Amino acid sequence: MKCFWKCRKFIPLFFLLAVFLLTGCSAEKPSENQKSPEKVPQESSSSDITTDNLSSDKITQALPQKDSDTSLGKGEKDKRLEEKVVEKVDVKHPFPQHVSYIKGTLKPGLSQEEMDRTVGKFYKIWKDTYVTKNPYEDEAQYYVWYSGNKYTKAVPDKSVAVTVSEAHGYGMLTTVLMAGYDNETKEIFDGMYSYYKEHLSSIGPHLMAWQQSDNGSALIDGAQNGSMADSDSDSATDGDLDIAYALLLADKQWGSDKGIDYKQAALDIITDIMKYEVDQKDWTLQLGDWASLSPSDSDYYTGTRSSDFLLGHLKVFYKVTKKKEWKQVTDKTYGIMEQIFTKYSSHTGLLPDFIIKNKKGKYEPAYKNFLESENDGNCGYNACRDPWRIGTDYLVTGDKREKELLIKLNQWIREAAENNPDKIMAGYTLKGEPTGSYSDLCFTVPYLVAAMCQDKNTPGAQEWLDSLWSKCSVLNRECYYNDSIKMLCLLVASGNWWTPLIF
């Protein structure tokens, strides 16, 4: 199986401002030498761990070790999470929660105890592999190690990218939902919040800089092509959405009356998302705060990313802020989904990675290499997450605007894969033709959540769901992107996803 490290296009702030000053308008598409590296295929190394009574320590020991050329040198401070006993804290809604989703949907055909045990064991694997302590700060700061690479003194003049805001959002969501599973969750979550506060966008003051790199003495923002110097950086919308949502969960989990005011921190981010990451003429989610500096008639200003369609988050933001603008964003997002589904994917229910607004004011799949790759108009490494994100909201809210798309999506993937999860391919055109000749877990595991949205009376629905759970619940390690999506999908599938509104 191939595994791709997830990355985003980066448009530096100095470039945007230079163009603005010289031309009286904001930046157009970056030139080739300003692009961030494309996703690079990585060979997946995994060790299947299936023994039920295998201890957490043995699971960690059974995982593949890092290559020797990226190991720490003698005397260097270890960047992995330090194991230690911490004081127990009051957890109001500890894992497991066993939330009841809307009537008529499905759950995997295992006992709740079995599912909870699997989620807990995989959390231990995920945490030990990816949750990393910042070695350069006295204050505890944690991030999710995404790149598979480390800074090495063998190449002293080149920084190494180690994390992105997308990963940080996944980490904060996972940690707050797993609170109570062990004694470290609040320490890690607060350390992730501290890390976020140290790495803010140069545009939206409460949004997170999208990538950090290790230069051997600090974790820096805005480093391109191995630069050793810190510079201006901008945001990516999905990371900000997840971080804000996680902080709202933290307010319900631990309260905001002592220490960090989680709710106010969330509200600050939500305010900046609306100001810097929403097109307030069309009420669409933009690609990041950098897009707000682009010309208002450009594809970068009006373009959107389907994997940012976090409808459950948007609905919560509306309820928490009581601002009608969030309802407008929610309704417009559904409208875009409906346009794409009706005209381009009525047979599949798929959405493309990126969507642009044409000259007639209609939304359509982006053209090749719009932002990341020739598959920008297909269901690729961004849109692969849509069945999970859309499915999660349907399980919680039962919003009828998602139902038809999910019905078609489930019908199509079962037919395309011949009811065999191993045959789900890594990418499809909107018409359902594979764009890859291999499978990848980040495409497979989101269908676990989508499969739960089938009507319980649909023939073969339960068997399909159970086969996906069997495929996706194996206790192994692949890469940050696959494993983080898997972690969150397992939480949803086991009934352990909840919203700030239910308590």
Mean pLDDT of 459-484: 99
Cα–Cα distances (Å) from 340 to 301, 405, 435, in that order, read 19, 10, 19
Confidence of residue 88 (pLDDT cuts 50, 70, 90): low
User: Is residue 277 predicted with pLDDT exceeding 50?
Assistant: yes
Across residues 269-283, what is the average pLDDT? 99
- Asked if the model's pLDDT at residue 70 lies above 60, the reply is no
Q: Mean pLDDT, to the nearest integer, of 279-305?
A: 98
- What is the distance between the alpha carbons of residues 396 and 446, in angstroms, rounded to a whole number? 16
Q: How far, in Å, CA of 79 to CA of 134, rounded?
A: 6
Q: 160 - beta bridge partners?
A: 214
Please give the domain boundaries of the chain with CATH numbers for all domains. 2-493 (1.50.10.10)
Determine the average pLDDT of the residues in 25-49. 33
Q: What digits encode the pLDDT tens for the residues 154-186?
A: 999 999 999 999 999 999 999 999 999 999 999
In this predicted structure, what is the pLDDT of residue 59? 30
At residue 58, does pLDDT exceed 90?
Answer: no
Note the pLDDT tens digit of each residue in 370-422: 999 999 999 999 999 999 999 999 999 999 999 999 999 999 999 999 999 99
pLDDT band at residue 5 under the 50/70/90 scheme: very low
Lowest average pLDDT, out of 38-42, 323-327, 393-397, goes to 38-42
Decide if pLDDT at 15 tops 80: no
Distance CA 448, CA 425 (A): 15
Q: What is the pLDDT of residue 207?
A: 99
CA distance 456 to 476: 30
Name the token pair of 51: 């023994």
- The average confidence (pLDDT) of the chain is 87
Clarify whether 230 is annotated catalytic. no
The pLDDT assigned to 503 comes to 86
Q: What is the pLDDT of residues 433-456, one digit of tens each?
A: 999 999 999 999 999 999 999 999
Nearest to 172 by CA among 119, 122, 125, 241: 241
| Structure-block tokens of residue 268 | 């600050």
Angle at 203 between CA 27 and CA 186, to 5 degrees: 140
- Render pLDDT for 110-142 as a digit per residue (tens, 0 to 9): 999 999 999 999 999 999 999 999 999 999 999
d(CA 328, CA 335): 10
Q: Which of 238, 282, 386, 440 is catalytic?
A: 238
CB atoms within 10 A of CB 403: 13
More confident residue, 34 or 117: 117
- Tell me the C-alpha distance between 417 and 10, whole Å: 35
